Structure formats: C-alpha cells, structure tokens
Amino acid sequence: MSDVRDAIDAVWRIESPKLIGALARVTRDVGLAEDLAQDALVAALEQWPSEGLPNNPAAWLMAAAKHRAIDLFRRNTRLAQKHQELKREFETRPDEAVSAFEASLDDDVGDDLLGLMFVSCHPVLAPEARVALTLRMVGGLTTPEIARAFLVTEPTIAQRIVRAKRALAKANVPFELPRGAERAERLSSVLDVLYLIFNEGYAATAGDDWMRPELCEDALRIGRVLAGLVPDDSEVHGLVALMEIQASRAKARVTKSGEPILLLNQDRSLWDRLLIGRGLSALARAEQLAGQSPGSFTLQAAIAACHARALNAADTDWVRIASLYAVLARLTPSPVVELNRAVAVGMAHGPAAGLEVVDRLMSEPALERYHLLFSVRGDLLEKLGRRDESRAAFEHAASLSTNTRERALLLGRAQKQA
C-alpha cells in the first residue's frame, strides 16, 4: 500500500503541472484547474491501491481530469454562466462541444506548462505569492511542504495561494503566453522566482538547517523544463547552468551533523561531476546565445564555473572572478553584488584591497542589517591580523543571522579571534 502511495506522490509531483496547465488554458481559471486536477488525484488514491497502477499513470490522470472537467461543464450552472459562449455551444451542439473541449485538452502541454509558469509569476502578484503559487502549481508541492520549506505556518501559505488565485481572477489575467517586451519582462520574473526558490534551499535564511536540498531540486527541475520550452533564451540556460553548478557542491557543504562547510574548505572530491558537466554545457549554450552581451545569470554561472573548474581552492582563478563581478556590477548594480566583488578582490589582490571595497559599503542603508557584510568584513580583518575588530564583526554578523547553523559558525569564528 505504501509503495502505491509513494508512486502516486511521485507521479503527481511530475504530472500535476501539466494537468493544471491544460485545464487552466481551457477553463481560464487557475483555481478551478487545480480543483479539477485534485479530483483526478483523489480518484487515483481511491482506485489505484485496489486496482493497481495503470500502465500509463500520467495518461490515466489526464483522462480522469478531462472527464471531471467535461462533467462539470455539462452540469455546473454557475460555470456555464461564466462561459456564455461555451454554454451556447453545449445547448446547440453538445456532442461537438464536448469533443472540441476534450480535444483542446490534448494540445501541446509544453505551451500549457510555460503558460502556467507565466501566470504563476504574473506581476500583479507580490513576490512571496509568486513563489508560493509557482511551487504549488508548477512544482507540484503541497501547502504543508511549502510551509515547511519557508518556515511559515500552513494557514499563511494557504492564504497566499488563495489570495494569488483571487488576484489573478480579479485582474482577469489571460492564460496565454505574453509577447514582445511583456514576455521578456515576465520571463525575467519567472527566472527570479526560480532562483529565489533555489537560493532558499541552497542557504536557508532561517531555521535549524543550513540547506534544504528538496527546494534546490524543485527549482532545478523546473528550470530544466523551462530550458526545454524556451531553448533560445540565453538567461534561461544561464540560470540552469548556475543552479547545476551550485547544486553540485551539496554533499560537500555540510558535515554529517549538519554544520556548514565554507567553499574554500570543502572536499572537492565530493562535488558532483555530472552536475558540473551539465552546468558547463548549459553555460556554453548560454554564452553562445548571449554573444558579447551576457546577462546576469550567465555571468553568475561563469563565476560558479571558475570554482567548478578548479580541482582545489588554490587553483581558483580569482582574478577572472573579480573581473566577472565587475562586469556584473555594471550590468546590475547592487550592494550585494559589490560585496561579492569585495570577496573576489580580497582573494585576487589581497585582504586590504577587499577591505577597502567593504568599508565603502558600511554606510549602505540596504546592508545595515545584512549579516554577510559583517561576516565578510570579519574574514578580511582576520587575514590582516586585526583580531579584536574581526571578533566584533563576526559577533555582530551572528547577532543578525536568523539561521541556527550559520549563527553557530559565525560565533565559532569569533571565538577563534580571542
């Protein structure tokens, strides 16, 4: 019984976005589409344990969802009123209407999935709502799973998802692929949401765990699907490359007991060479498409590749990394990018040069409570032998961190300066 339930969960995680996408395109209602897909899941939970798994579980779920959608259109007066044109079709030529409706669900699921991504990341939604809806609709995660991932209550996540659906309905957001500048803008939002999800898994902002690998896996899986749906966009491949390469370090980033291991101290033999190879291939594709104008994710992937290509920390090309960060800073100026550049400058040209960049950021309002600013400063001061200042910087960084593992790491580094 448990094996069947596990199989259902696995099929649902993979296939639910396609189901919801196909249903949303026809019903023009993301909330209704999810309800119909959930009905199909309930049917599977009721029938598969006794009847056994069908030969094609995905097709079975799609057929079940179709039947429920057609039944609903036939008998639901409220929905028929909402779709007057479809209602007239059913009243005058019911058999033809049902056939046309069923056929429309068999259209290209690739376009449906891409459309679902664009809807989930529509600018009418707040960023946190985009994340929740993307994980629910495209990632196939349940509300409890999303709540656990972001350390918020289930009711909070449920409210975000419900409000997101209402906002989409109120704004009458069409389930279609945007064109031109709007498409580029929305695709950028999709990529930003995916990377936000990945980053929360890669370095959790709060809680007791340094990493949440399942979030990284979900973001990377969605990213790979997106790269197949939008094969000619350099930044899509750039983001996939970045996530592949960063994900390759997962086994080396924590001890067996869960303590963080910093990049320069990691056992690189534990890095996943398959993921690195996939990342480098995606980066090559991104750079080919971008030409002389690489985007933000492609540049970040190129930086990650410098680490991936170094068999040990001493072989890292920090001069190239610093130059790539300089290009990134011109393309997307931000205090965080400048802080990352400071780290690279410190490694390439000495801690004093890096500290000079950091000290210029100390008055930056956006970084006032950013613990990594003080952590980087503490590291550079330690290398310069300014132990008292280093200890104070690490202690302050620890006081600002909301991740238990990271806080312990920072306090440990502070104690070493005593």
Within a domain: 306? no
Residue 272 confidence (pLDDT) above 70: yes
Consecutive H or E run containing 327 = helix 318-331
The more confident residue out of 7 and 86 is 7
pLDDT score of 89: 47
Side chain identity at 39, as an amino acid letter? Answer: D
Within a domain: 98? yes
Q: What gap in Å lies between CA 210 and CA 70, rounded to an integer?
A: 47
Within a domain: 81? yes
Q: Residue 237 to residues 226, 283, 294, 372: CA-CA distances in angstroms?
A: 9, 7, 11, 28
Highest mean pLDDT among 197-206, 252-261, 319-328: 319-328
> What residues contact 96, with CB distance under 8 A and at least 6 apart?
89
**Residues 301 and 321 sit within 8 Å (Cβ to Cβ):** no
Name the nearest CA neighbour of 233 among 182, 282, 304: 282
Within a domain: 24? yes
Residue 27 confidence (pLDDT) above 80: no
Q: What is the 3-state secondary structure (H, E, C) of 265-306?
A: HCCHHHCCHHHHHHHHHHHHHHHHHHCCCCCHHHHHHHHHHH
Residue 98 confidence (pLDDT) above 70: no
Within a domain: 22? yes
Residue 82 confidence (pLDDT) above 90: no
Number of domains in the chain: 1
- Whether the model clears a pTM of 0.95, i.e. scores above it, the answer is no
Condensed to tens digits (0 to 9), the pLDDT of residues 396-405 reads 999 999 888 8
Within a domain: 7? yes
Within a domain: 87? yes
DSSP character for 138? I
Highest mean pLDDT among 115-119, 217-221, 328-332: 328-332
Q: Which domain holds residue 54?
A: 2-107
Within a domain: 361? no
